[in-house]
Amino acid sequence: MKIVMDSSSNLRELEDANFAAAPLKVLIGNKEFVDVRGTDVAAMVNELETSKEKTSTACPSIQDWLDAFADEMEIIVVTITSKLSGCFNSAAIAAKEYLSEHPERKVYVMDSLSTGPEMEVIAEKCAELINEGKNYEQVCQEITEYRHKTGLLFVLGSLRNLAKNGRVNTAIAKLVDTLHIFIVGKASIVGDLDPSNKCRGKKRAMEQIYENMIKEGYKGGKVRIRHTESPGDALALQTHILKYWPNVDIKIGKNKALCAYYAEKGGVLVGFEKG
Ligand code: X90
């Protein structure tokens, strides 16, 4: 069995698993940052700050997905929410092509209704189920149910890039910009960006994330934090969580190109288990 995700999961490989990522792209003018291992995300973030060029993103092509599928019998694909990206669509088309070439094989494409570290939590669960010896159908079913027991909360450096690309309302983005406030948001149950709270400072925003985790039913489960040049905020949140839940499985990492582009400098994304 192989696990395949688009690069918005921030994963390039996965321990004890047969894993591949299909890359999204960040475009600055006619320069392309492909979201693969080795791409200099810090340089990209700097260039985004100074560049006057138009910027955008693009989902993996059908061929990118087929390359990630490679030559496997049973494939589980998990994508970023289809509400915000064409990834799910291109993956579904690739799956259809793959199956018409190899009718005896299996490809399941699941919309995570989320992105980033929530996908990371889902990927790890998927690997765990496979390593427990569950069969393909069981893994597909259990991972589909598990998706409802995980969450994504975030505070973004700015909403500019989301607004520029039509992913959030421009008026909200302008408001955040002019008032210098931080929006704490979540991935809604239908896979939309749900801006839940306005916070005056970054410290308050990080506390709000923890309060919202509790509201979402957090009880000491796994946590994955991914930041864009904001290790201090990520660490503060980790310390806060460990104060109440000293034994949690918690890890901090950096956002890769796609998440860094949309979370922006100072952005922190938190994926967690609810129950
Ligand atoms: O297909 C494409 O070009 C990619 C578009 C992706 C747009 C959203 C990326 C979000 C990245 C920052 C905020 C988290 C929002 C999650 C809401 C479900 C992460």
Does the predicted model carry a pTM greater than 0.75? yes
With a cut of 70, list the residues of the chain below it in pLDDT: none
| Tens digit of each residue's pLDDT (9 = 90 or more) over 140-175 | 999 999 999 999 999 999 999 999 999 999 988 998
For residue 36, how far is its CA from the centre of ligand 1 (angstroms)?
17
> CA–CA separation, 77 vs 20, rounded Å?
10
> CA–CA separation, 12 vs 36, rounded Å?
7
Residue 196 phi, psi dihedral angles, 5° rounding: -95, -40
Which atom of ligand 1 sits closest to the CA of residue 58?
A: 3
> CA–CA separation, 50 vs 29, rounded Å?
12
pLDDT at res. 275: 87
Q: Is there an atom of ligand 1 within 6 Å of 259 CB?
A: yes
Q: Is there an atom of ligand 1 within 6 Å of 57 CB?
A: yes
For residue 260, how far is its CA from the centre of ligand 1 (angstroms)?
10
For residue 31, how far is its CA from the centre of ligand 1 (angstroms)?
20
Q: Which of 96, 107, 115 is nearest to 191 (CA)?
A: 115
Q: Is there an atom of ligand 1 within 6 Å of 260 CB?
A: no
Which atom of ligand 1 sits closest to the CA of residue 84?
A: 7
> CA–CA separation, 48 vs 113, rounded Å?
27
